[in-house]
Structures are given as C-alpha cells and as structure tokens.
C-alpha cells in the first residue's frame, strides 16, 4: 500500500516552484523519490527552506529560470530538463498571480474600473501560462503514454470571493475588492482540466485540479479575523497541508482519477 504513493525515478516539473506552495510541493515530491525541475521567474535566494536547499545540493531539485507565458522559453526548458533530469511524467501547474489582502488598492478597486492591463496580465499567467506548459510538457507526456498533471486552481474558481471579508478595508477608506480576474482564470482551469483529462485519457495522462482555500502567510489581523469566522475549520490552511493531496494526485494512488477537482478548503464551500 505504501508503495502506491512512491515516485521513485519520476521527474516532476513544478511551475512557480519558488513560491510559498511551490517550495512545499517540490520538497514533498522529492521526499517520495522524485527528481524535481522547478520553473520560476524569480532568482532563488538560499535559505528559504532548509529541506529545499538540501535537495538542491544533492541534485534532486534543479531550478530553471523561465517565464511560463513565453512558449520558446518553456520549449527550451523541456529539452534542458530531459537532458539534466530525464523525461518528465508529473507536471504541477502551480505558478499564478493573485491579489492578497496586502496588495495595492489601485489593482483591487471596484469591478467597474478594474484595469484592462491587469486583466491581461492575470489571464496571461494564470491561464495562458498553464495552457502553454500543458501543451509543451503535457504533450511530451502524451508522446510517452504516461503522466499526471495537477492544475492548481482555488476555491475562488468554484464560488465567488466573499467581498464582505474586505469590508474592514473599505471602512478604513481603501476601496478594496478581491478582483474578478483571479476568480475567472481559476474557473477556466477547472474546464481546461476536464478538457485535457478526456483528450489525453487514452494516452494514459491523467489531469486533475487541486483547489485550495486561503493559506496562512502572515496576513493582517483584521483579514485573519474576518476570514476565520467564515471558515468552518476556523483557521487558514498551513502551507504544508496541500502536500498529501499533491502526492496522492501525482502518484499511482490516484490511478483511476482524472478530470476531477480535489477541494482542500477547510469546509469553505460546504455552507
């Protein structure tokens, strides 16, 4: 039973692998035996995460600097990854941009004035980037008749953000709303998952979505209070609480699962 979850000799790609969840996913995949290609636009600053640094040192993790919205860069990365680590069979489409509570009010104003350029930017990363990585890396998996793709969406792809949470900001004079761009791109991911799951089913490439609710990341106290009182489990998720689901979806433990959406949301969508 334990072996069902092992990922020995598999090569995984984690986009946005230097972010809060990406670091967690990369380390967990290595813990279960995979070699991991991390793709990010950021430069890595050492000592973010000791376990990550250890895997970096022993060659289980390799970092590739690339922008997921640029097809040529992603195609080049595939060739590099194949040379350096081997043929990939796991893809975590994790890179994304969001508007957490601390961000600029201009980017988070009323829907009526939401800047078109911001919409383009969010669609580019959250949708087009996932599309391109799926074409390039998923296409390689389909060629080899084996793979698991995990698209990271959000509860805000299933239901609307609750704007009441941010009333405290508006009371303080900041005209702040969680923007529609994030929610609609995350919804699109759900149907891209279903499309690809059926498209590649005969090629033995499974495609699923993981939908988290909010992860604790030192958000301001007022936000935390508002969020917690609406959350059935009464707290935000710890950053390590998605790891079990990632290993399940990446491994043969989920071999009969494709086109699904695994919701890890503390009960947020249950009421």
Query: Could you list the residues that contact ligand NAD (CB under 6 A)?
Result: 15-16, 18-22, 39-42, 67-69, 94-98, 125, 129, 152, 154, 212, 214-215
Q: CB of 222: closest distance to ligand NAD in angstroms?
A: 17
Q: How far is the CB of 106 from ligand NAD (least distance, A)?
A: 19
* Least CB distance to ligand NAD at residue 3 (A): 29
Rg (CA), the chain: 18
Nearer to ligand NAD, 14 or 205 (CB): 14
**Residue with structure tokens 């508002």?**
226
Say which residues have a Cβ less than 8 Å from residue 41's Cβ, sequence separation at least 6: 65, 66, 67
Closer CB to ligand NAD, 107 or 252, in the complex: 107
Smallest separation, CB 25 to ligand NAD (Å): 9
DSSP 8-state code for residue 11:
E
CA angle 15, 20, 22 (to 5 degrees): 25
Q: Is the Cβ of residue 6 or residue 180 nearer to ligand NAD in the bound state?
A: 180
> Measured between alpha carbons, how far is 49 from 242 in angstroms, rounded to an integer?
17
> Would you say 31 or 98 has its CB closer to ligand NAD?
98
Closest CA to 7 of 247, 206, 204: 247
To ligand NAD, the closest distance from the beta carbon of 2 in angstroms equals 28
Measured in degrees and rounded to the nearest 5, phi and psi for residue 247 equal -65, -40
Q: Which residue is nearest to ligand NAD (CB)?
A: 19
Separation of alpha carbons 211 and 205, rounded Å = 20
Q: Which is nearer to ligand NAD, 9 or 234 (CB)?
A: 234
């Amino acid at each position: 039973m334990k072996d069902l979850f092992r990922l020995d000799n598999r090569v995984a790609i984690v986009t946005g692998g230097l972010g809060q969840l990406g670091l967690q996913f990369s380390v967990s995949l290595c813990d279960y035996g995979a070699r991991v290609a991390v793709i990010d636009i950021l430069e890595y600053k050492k000592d973010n995460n000791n376990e990550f640094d250890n895997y970096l040192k022993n060659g289980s993790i390799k970092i590739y600097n690339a922008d997921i919205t640029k097809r040529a860069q992603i195609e080049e990365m595939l060739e590099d990854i194949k040379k350096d680590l081997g043929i990939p069979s796991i893809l975590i489409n994790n890179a994304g941009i969001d508007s957490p509570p601390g961000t600029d009010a201009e980017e988070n104003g009323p829907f009526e004035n939401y800047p078109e350029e911001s919409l383009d930017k969010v669609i580019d990363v959250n949708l087009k980037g996932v599309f391109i990585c799926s074409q390039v890396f998923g296409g390689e998996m389909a060629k080899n008749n084996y793979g698991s793709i995990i698209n990271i969406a959000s509860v805000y792809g299933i239901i609307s953000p609750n704007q009441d949470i941010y009333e405290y900001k508006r009371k303080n004079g900041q005209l702040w709303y969680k923007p529609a761009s994030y929610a609609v791109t995350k919804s699109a991911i759900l149907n891209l998952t279903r499309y690809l799951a059926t498209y590649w089913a005969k090629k033995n490439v499974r495609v699923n979505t993981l939908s988290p609710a909010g992860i604790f990341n030192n958000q301001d106290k007022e936000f935390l209070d508002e969020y917690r009182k609406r959350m059935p489990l009464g707290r935000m998720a710890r950053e390590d609480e998605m790891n079990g689901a990632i290993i399940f979806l990446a491994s043969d433990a989920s071999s009969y699962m494709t086109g699904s959406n695994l919701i890890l949301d503390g009960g947020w969508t249950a009421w």
